[in-house]
Amino acid sequence: MQNVQEVLTVPRAEKPTPSDLGLAVSHPLGVTSHPPAVELLKKVRVSQPREIECRVPRVTTDRYNQGVNFTPTAIIADKYQIFEQVEGSSLYRCVDINTKEELVCKIVSRDSHSLVSAHFRLDYHLRVARLREVVARDRYLYLVFPPAHGDLHSYVRCRKRLREPEARRLFRQIAETVRVCHEHGIVLRDLKLRKFVFADESRTELKLESLEDAVVLEEPESDWLHDKRGCPAYVSPEILKAGAHYSGKAADMWSLGVILYTMLVGRYPFNDSEHASLFAKISRGHFVVPECLSPRARCLVRSLLRREPSERITSEDILHHPWLARKEERDWTSRACDQMVPDVPFVDDDDQ
């Protein structure tokens, strides 16, 4: 999906100095401290590039490596072989040459300090893709992760919509992930269904694929942001206001509302083929929650999709909401929902 605003073109890296030419060093998996991002990058020495590096002329908020002219089967640090891009993802297929283990790799500009720092902060967490290794070169960083088993966007689109018991179980995992990120001073910004992938083949456990576009707050309690990032269908009303500062955490909660609505209904709460019309609908904040959803589900959706940021439920409180806290897994959905035909198809621009 196209973004609200593109980031400036990535500057070309300066020619590496002789001191930069050494063996690539992976970050230790046992790191528990959280040094500044610059110090983290200093721990990853740059090796002399032997592989054919990819070219990243532009970095966008939706994909760090959009527009990459990448030569497949590149060899990185004499250890990893990089293949084609994973469908619907910003990651590339990757194989450990020594063990033949299949992995995925994210290729970002070397100045992506916020992304690396965010992963180091949450490297231990079950719901965030574990950063297995970082390989640095003179221009790019190669972030290696374990593979996933499909993304939530494709899953919901294939299923049309999810029954409340399944939606509750998966959305609870998403809400837990956002809560942990906010507790650690990380605002996710570009929250959407596609960011969450399945960690198991049975597709019951979710994890956040990457922390790209995340902001690491200097002071966790101060989350005021001013840049406009995110996919149009998920962006909050306050972000659309010209020159306005906004609460990054509150904007994340709005995006959670869009995610939950889409999981339960099978379409976005605000949808239009023209972005100007879409943004006008979002700014007005008017949407319809189908009556076939349970009262508690409708309540949670409305608690998240409030036009006024200060009125939205917070990441600290959302897990205590009756719809998520309930133990009963009975499917409340009425027959009317089965007969409902969405007036707008659930289509992401990425799929076109």
Give mean pLDDT, residues 132-138.
88
Q: Is the pLDDT of residue 240 over 60?
A: yes
Angle of helix 248-265 relative to helix 152-159, nearest 10 degrees? 30
Amino acid at 35: P
Closest CA to 174 of 324, 40, 34: 324
Class level of CATH domain 18-145: alpha beta
Higher pLDDT, 21 or 277: 277
Q: Which residues belong to CATH 3.30.200.20 in the chain?
A: 18-145
Q: Is the pLDDT of residue 247 over 90?
A: yes
Q: Is the pLDDT of residue 156 over 60?
A: yes
Please classify residue 332 by burial: count the beta carbons closer than 10 Å to its beta carbon, then call 0-12 exposed, 13-18 middle and 19+ buried. Answer: middle
Q: Which residues belong to CATH 1.10.510.10 in the chain?
A: 152-351
CATH code for the domain defined by 152-351: 1.10.510.10
Structure tokens belonging to residue 239: 């972000």
Share of the chain above pLDDT 90, in %: 54
Separation of alpha carbons 83 and 71, rounded Å: 8
Bridge-partner residues for 46, per DSSP?
136
Q: Is the pLDDT of residue 25 over 50?
A: no
State which H helix or E strand residue 138 sits in: none
Closest CA to 249 of 150, 315, 318: 315
What integer pLDDT is reported at residue 334 of this predicted model? Answer: 52
pLDDT grade, residue 51 (50/70/90)?
very low
What integer pLDDT is reported at residue 329 of this predicted model? Answer: 53
Q: Is the pLDDT of residue 343 over 70?
A: no
DSSP 3-state of 151? strand
Amino acid at 114: S
Q: Is the pLDDT of residue 302 over 90?
A: yes
User: Which of 62, 123, 151, 190 does the annotation list as catalytic?
Assistant: 190
Q: Which of 52-61, 102-111, 292-301, 337-346 has the highest mean pLDDT?
A: 292-301
Phi-psi region of 208 (alpha: psi -120 to 50; beta: other; left: phi over 0): beta
Separation of alpha carbons 247 and 250, rounded Å: 5
Cβ atoms of 230 and 218 closer than 8 Å: no
What integer pLDDT is reported at residue 49 of this predicted model? Answer: 36
Q: Which residue has the tokens 């990054």?
A: 248
Q: Is the pLDDT of residue 282 over 50?
A: yes
Summarised one tens digit per residue, pLDDT across range 314-338 is 999 999 999 999 765 555 545 456 4
Structure tokens belonging to residue 274: 């023209």
What integer pLDDT is reported at residue 77 of this predicted model? Answer: 84
What integer pLDDT is reported at residue 227 of this predicted model? Answer: 85
CA dist 34 → 31, 38, 40, 94, 120 (Å) = 8, 11, 8, 27, 7
Contacts of 254 (CB under 8 A, 6+ apart): 234, 235, 236, 237, 304, 305, 309, 312
Q: Is the pLDDT of residue 216 over 70?
A: yes
Amino acid at 148: A
Structure tokens belonging to residue 197: 């992938």
Summarised one tens digit per residue, pLDDT across range 146-155 is 999 999 999 9
190 a catalytic residue: yes
**Worst-scoring range by mean pLDDT, 71-75, 78-82, 232-236, 256-260?**
71-75
What integer pLDDT is reported at residue 42 of this predicted model? Answer: 42
Higher pLDDT, 1 or 112: 112
Half-sphere exposure of 32 (CA within 13 A, CB side): 1
- Write out the DSSP string of 208-268: E---TT-EE-SSTT--EE-S--S-GGG--GGGGSTT--EEHHHHHHHHHHHHHHHHHHSS-
